[in-house]
Structure 1
Amino acid sequence: MFPVLELCQIVESGFHPLSCTCTVSPDGSLMIKIVEPESGRVELLITGVSTAEFTSVRDISNFIGELRTEMKAGRRAFAG
């Protein structure tokens, strides 16, 4: 398992130019909030992320990719 603070730093750096905040809940899970900085609009908010599955940088990279896909899918769902 990755140290939680290092994990958060990697996740936060994976969403530029958006603003990403990763915080640790009292139960040890993560809350990830991704915000479009100019408008302040929350692009994605996910809570209860277990850190147990993150054993390598590849795992973290795959997770960031999944979140990016979720964000793109959400935008298409509301486009119109």
Structure 2
Amino acid sequence: MFLSALELRNIIESSFLPKRCQCTVAPDLSMTVKVYTDRQTDQLDLMVTGINAQRLNSSREINGLIAELRTDLASRTLLHSQPLHTERRAV
């Protein structure tokens, strides 16, 4: 890891603004990223655990991780924002 855990956390957390993002790095360098719906609630939109922070050795790898997380977040948001399909009968 070429950045300190604090620098890595700051880059990842700020990349999700204006949403609230919490990134934690464990002593074994496994990382957890949580992205919340907004800055006021504790409702999670995305939580990814077990990210290997040791593989984040360049800005390209960090950007790749952020892109993957954003894709996961967008697909989850899309699924949850879809209206519930109901069947209507003609009267």
The normalised TM-score by structure 1 is: 0.85
Runs of at least 5 residues in structure 2 that lack an aligned partner in the other structure: 84-91
The answer to whether 1:10 aligns with 2:22 is no
Provide the C-alpha distance between the structure 2 equivalents of 1:52 and 1:65, rounded to a whole number of angstroms: 18
Worse overlay, 37-46 or 64-73? 37-46
Report the CA distance between 1:39 and its aligned residue. 4.0
Provide the C-alpha distance between the structure 2 equivalents of 1:72 and 1:20, rounded to a whole number of angstroms: 15
Matched residue count: 80
Report the CA distance between 1:32 and its aligned residue. 0.9
Pairing 1:22-61 to 2, within 5 Å after superposition:
22-36=23-37, 37-61=39-63
Report the CA distance between 1:26 and its aligned residue. 3.7
Runs of at least 5 residues in structure 1 that lack an aligned partner in the other structure: none
Task: Report % sequence identity.
Answer: 36
Larger Rg: 2
Q: Secondary structure at the match of 2:53?
A: coil
Pairing 1:55-70 to 2, within 5 Å after superposition:
55-70=57-72
Kept in 1, the 8 Å contact 2:21–2:34? The answer is yes
The normalised TM-score by structure 2 is: 0.76
Between the two structures, name the one with larger relative contact order (CA 8 Å, sep ≥ 6). Answer: 1
